[in-house]
Structure 1
Amino acid sequence: MYQALRPSRSEFVPVRNLSYHVRLWGQPSDKRPPLVLVHGWMDVAASWQFVVDAMEEDRFIIAPDWRGFGLTDGGGVDNYWLADYLADLEWLLDHYAGEGPDGEGARQIDLVGHSMGGNVAMHYAGVRPQRIRRLVNLEGFGMPARKPDEAPARYGQWIDELKRLHRGEMALAGYSAVDGVARRLMKTNPRLTPDKAAWLASHWSVNHAQPDGSERWQILGEAAHKIVNAHIFRVDETLALYSRITAPLLMVEASDDSLHGWWKNRYTLDEFHERLKSVGNARIERLEDAGHMLHHDQPRIVARMIEEFLAA
């Protein structure tokens, strides 16, 4: 199994009636702003370990498990909303970087997000531009444009999926052994090595012992995250948020075109790049020999990209 070079420590922070699990590396410093790492959908904060280990500088790093993922409680809800992640992040920054009116006067942070976390980071940087010094988005592309006449069917799909969830039809798969979780991770990402898969599996799942003494490893994610968002994606809202970002942005894209794999020609990198023109100071870099989980595939290069950008 992979051996962490810089083991994290855990603490729980009260956030909006939830107990938020946060992984920390290093110690607070007056010389550098905190570095906040936010993970993607169906992932956990421990997923950043490989990048943290590859960093040259020892700095104060904060990585939360989003609500309903990892060791953070979901609050018993049956679906999740993007706006909640924005508010949760604000609560966490108030705790670790100081609180001021609308974030004014609080210490700035460097923010890195992967996938869903990248989308959250971009939106938050538009809501609270004064709080972000540097912004890094790893494969967080947003969603395809939707038309208003798609809204009725979307609401219907949302309701139907809620019913399926409450009937127990959307439960996440369980595994008889932790190595089954590791195999699942490697199937999803063929570049993931067995040692890293075994390490991730031990943090990505938990064993619920059965009455007969057998093991049942369950993914640390709420099934409610699978429910489609009731609201259609609004490109105009996203562009308005992007236009308010004042921090320099580094956008890192993997050589495997994730958008094409997910959406074919319905949503393309060219379309996303057009959206990025609304950001005042954005740079796009491509990472070779990497897929969507690029922080697992090429952690040393990702760490170098982040550190060089933050130091520039």
Structure 2
Amino acid sequence: MTSKTGFESRFAANGNVKLHYVAAGSGPPLLFLHGFPDHGLGWRRQMEALCGTFTVLAPDLRGFGLSDAPTGHAQYTLLPHLVEDVLSILVAEQLSHVSVIGHDWGGTIAWWLAMRVPQAVRHLVILSTPHPRNYLRAIADPGNARYFAYMRAFQEAGAAAMPAPVELAGWVADEGDRQALAESLGRSDPEVMLGYYRANIPLGRVPDIGQLPLVKAPTLVMFGTHDPYVPSGAYDGTFREVDNVASLVAISGAGHFIHHQAAGFVTREIETWVSRPPSSFRAF
């Protein structure tokens, strides 16, 4: 089935959970992972620009859009469920590895995939998402409370704190894209979407997650300097978490949704990064 954007609609399965994704193009594979509140087609600008050179794939994460929404917050843990969802798409596409681009929750999933299944990740590109260790430390810092007030409201008040789909999609400037996102979010259960926060971020004291495997893939991290949801200081420890070439790019004046707000720049940076063979990053 082909969507209104011209992308083909496909499905993968992780056990009993069916995952919808869109696909286009041919060439080296790129997998785009969206965050909250978004959907696979939120990457439309990047996918349209890159599908002439690459195979582009973008799922609706479980609980979003046309993907299944299993009940219970325990169904939304990063390990094993969300990481295994990504692997199921690789299986469906008969891919052994892929370059992964993630934003927000998709960025967190991408970090964990690169740490836990390094052989599956050729390049890693992260948008608006600190490394999980640094992100949890930022959440635990009382000085950052203003950044994470929405998150605490979701955890404490539950679905009552969730705005309507039209409001959730309000960050999208393009009218057609905004309507498509609102329709997609309208198919999503608010309680299910909140499962990401309930399952993965403690409501009380946030523990330090300790030693983690270093990321082996060449890693590009981009963020907006005016992100109202993530403090810029949370990216300071990035280089200590990557055993490869890592680049940290701050986009002046941009907010959280940089794949829309600085779409052309972000797309060019992604293309430049993933076009280089991984081996070339170590050839100093």
- TM-score norm. by structure 2 comes to 0.76
Measured in 2, the distance between the counterparts of 1:248 and 1:121 equals: 13
Measured in 2, the distance between the counterparts of 1:289 and 1:135 equals: 24
Residue 262 of structure 1, CA deviation: 3.5
Aligned residue among 146, 150, 164 for 1:173: 164
Greater Cα shift, 62-71 or 279-288: 279-288
- The one-letter code matched in structure 1 to 2:183 is S
Q: Cα deviation per residue 1:250-284 (whole Å; 9 max; x = unaligned)?
A: 0011131x2xx337xxxx43343224412122110
Q: How does 1:59-208 map to 2 (within 5 A)?
A: 59-78=54-73, 80-83=76-79, 84-98=81-95, 107-141=96-130, 142=132, 143-145=135-137, 169=160, 173=164, 181=166, 185-186=169-170, 189=171, 192-193=172-173, 196-205=174-183
State the match for 1:297 in structure 2. Answer: 261
CA contact (8 A) 2:23 2:57 kept: yes
Aligned residue among 207, 212, 225 for 1:240: 212
Equivalent residue of 2:233, what SS?
helix
State the match for 2:15 in structure 1. Answer: 16
- The one-letter code matched in structure 1 to 2:265 is I
State the match for 1:255 in structure 2. Answer: 225
CA contact (8 A) 1:113 1:121 kept: yes
Decide which structure has the larger Cα Rg and report it: 1
Equivalent residue of 1:46, what SS?
helix
Change (3 A) 1:262 1:301: closer
Measured in 1, the distance between the counterparts of 2:98 and 2:50 equals: 17
Aligned residue among 38, 59, 75 for 1:43: 38
CA contact (8 A) 1:172 1:218 kept: no
State the match for 1:158 in structure 2. Answer: none
Measured in 2, the distance between the counterparts of 1:164 and 1:300 equals: 37
CA RMSD in angstroms comes to 3.0
Residue 91 of structure 1, CA deviation: 1.6
Identity over the aligned pairs, expressed in percent?
A: 22
Change (3 A) 1:255 1:162: closer
Q: Cα deviation per residue 1:220-268 (whole Å; 9 max; x = unaligned)?
A: 354232254356354434x513x1x111000011131x2xx337xxxx4
Residue 199 of structure 1, CA deviation: 2.4
Q: Name the count of aligned residue pairs.
A: 250
Measured in 2, the distance between the counterparts of 1:56 and 1:26 equals: 4
Structure with greater proportional helix content = 2
Equivalent residue of 1:224, what SS?
helix
CA contact (8 A) 2:8 2:23 kept: yes
- TM-score norm. by structure 1 comes to 0.70
Change (3 A) 1:96 1:305: same
State the match for 1:218 in structure 2. Answer: 186
CA contact (8 A) 1:254 1:290 kept: yes
Measured in 2, the distance between the counterparts of 1:201 and 1:304 equals: 26
Measured in 2, the distance between the counterparts of 1:218 and 1:5 equals: 18
- The one-letter code matched in structure 2 to 1:298 is A
Could you list the runs of 5+ residues in structure 2 that have no partner in the other structure? 141-153, 277-284
Equivalent residue of 2:22, what SS?
strand
State the match for 2:270 in structure 1. Answer: 306
